């Protein structure tokens, strides 16, 4: 089975790029052939740099590669704006081209909200019409699609995958945080992350937890939300609790981020908008409990996993954070719950679920036909008899 993923891809910095890397590598380990059709800057084994998000012929360029690589199924990792202007409308042309070529397409919608813009709603409807199957990460997203759009094809719910990793035992020592109760804010800088909420609560948090430390590991991508970043860092500069704030800056490659997560006792997600985030998946890999806002996505995760608490007010943020940083037994209970949940959410399991989905949408030429693929290796030899 050969799968072509259409997505951003590392070293390009993007949550969907990282998601695609983990998913495709996990599927490849199951013995499947993988091809990545990515934006300029993508690099790696069987990775092709195909388009820039500003190109006017994205669909044609992508289909040129699809024709020549002949995948059994195309899997699009969709986010608005990745595929040209008008919120990425060229993805619709690509879907139509694949339909004409009788090539099955699975599309994962990474953004599903009730308040999508007019042009975004039109694009979503066409994705639902032209995809063999649509994948979302959460059941409430499926419910939004079913209640808001015409859905002629199946919608599958497959959660965001979680890595299998080991906590770095000396992480606090490396970050000079020994003896501290560490609350982490992490991820790309966006105003909807609402990080300033936690900074504003420092007086109460420090009063409740004298050894409290707010660890901030966040940054802006080039020309993205720079004004918000300036305001946030100025808020930190003006804080009277500097000794309780540690700010890290840099690129945060995976091994660096792993150290940061290992040094933390609790993750805060005070978002005003969003769904299951890459940061939440990263934290889950380390069984790190969370304090979140009351967004439906986070509430669902907390109800399903029982890995933290959500807050509906400033008082609840302070109360919940203080409680979890003081009550080691409760925090360890949440960690155990996350660890158990990860058995069903790790990338190995998520890869299996995707492969079953690929098999469903691929048309077999006959009921007797089965896939056959042998990995090419230097040791694999074929003797020809003449």
Q: What is the CATH number of the domain that holds 41?
A: 3.40.50.2000
Name the least confident of 32-36, 111-115, 195-199, 323-327: 111-115
Where is average pLDDT lowest: 175-189, 218-232, 245-259? 218-232
Domains: count for the chain: 2
Indicate if 308 and 329 belong to the same structural domain. Answer: yes
The answer to whether position 366 is within a domain reads no
Domain assignment of residue 333, yes or no: yes
- Give a yes or no: residue 372 inside a domain: no
What predicted TM-score, i.e. pTM, was given to this entire model?
0.88
User: How sure is the predictor about 229, in pLDDT bands with cuts at 50, 70 and 90?
Assistant: confident
Domain that holds residue 151: 2-161+347-361
| 368 within a domain of the structure (yes/no) | no
Based on the fold, state whether residues 106 and 155 are members of the same structural domain: yes
| Whether residue 356 is found in the same domain as residue 335 | no
Tell whether 184 is covered by a domain: yes
- Cα 291–chain centre separation: 18
**Same-domain check for residues 96 and 182:** no
Q: Is there a domain that residue 369 lies in?
A: no
Mean pLDDT of 40-56: 95
């Amino acid at each position: 089975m050969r799968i072509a993923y259409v997505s951003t891809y590392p070293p390009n910095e993007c949550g969907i790029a990282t998601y695609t890397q983990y998913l495709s590598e996990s599927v490849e380990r199951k013995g499947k052939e993988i091809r990545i059709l990515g934006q300029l800057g993508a690099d790696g084994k069987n990775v092709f740099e195909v388009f820039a998000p500003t190109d006017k012929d994205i669909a044609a360029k992508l289909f040129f590669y699809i024709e020549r690589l002949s995948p059994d199924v195309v899997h699009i990792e969709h986010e608005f704006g990745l595929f040209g202007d008008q919120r990425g409308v060229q993805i619709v042309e690509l879907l139509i081209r694949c339909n004409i070529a009788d090539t099955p397409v699975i599309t994962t919608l990474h953004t599903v909200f009730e308040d999508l813009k007019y042009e975004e709603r039109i694009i979503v409807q066409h994705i639902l019409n032209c995809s063999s199957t649509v994948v979302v990460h959460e059941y409430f997203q499926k419910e939004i699609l079913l209640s808001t759009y015409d859905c002629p094809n199946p919608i599958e719910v497959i959660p965001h995958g979680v890595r299998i990793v080991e906590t770095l035992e000396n992480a606090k020592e490396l970050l000079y945080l020994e003896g501290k109760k560490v609350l982490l804010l992490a991820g790309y800088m966006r105003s909807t992350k609402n990080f300033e909420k936690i900074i504003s609560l420092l007086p109460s948090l420090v009063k409740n937890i004298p050894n409290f430390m707010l660890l901030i590991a966040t940054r802006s991508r080039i020309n993205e939300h720079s004004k918000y970043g300036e305001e946030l860092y100025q808020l930190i500069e003006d804080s009277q609790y500097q000794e309780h704030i540690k700010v890290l800056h840099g690129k945060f490659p995976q091994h660096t981020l792993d150290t940061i997560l290992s040094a933390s006792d609790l993750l805060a997600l005070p978002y005003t908008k969003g769904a299951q985030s890459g940061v939440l998946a990263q934290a889950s890999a380390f069984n790190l409990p969370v304090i979140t806002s009351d967004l439906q996505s986070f509430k669902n995760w907390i109800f399903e996993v029982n890995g933290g608490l959500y807050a509906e007010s400033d008082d609840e943020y302070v109360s919940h954070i203080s409680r979890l940083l003081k009550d080691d037994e409760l925090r360890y209970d949440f960690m155990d719950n996350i660890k158990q949940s990860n058995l069903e959410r790790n990338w190995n399991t998520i890869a299996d679920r995707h492969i079953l989905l690929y098999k469903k949408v691929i048309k077999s030429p006959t009921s007797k036909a089965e896939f056959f693929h042998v990995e090419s290796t230097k040791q694999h030899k074929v003797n020809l008899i003449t």
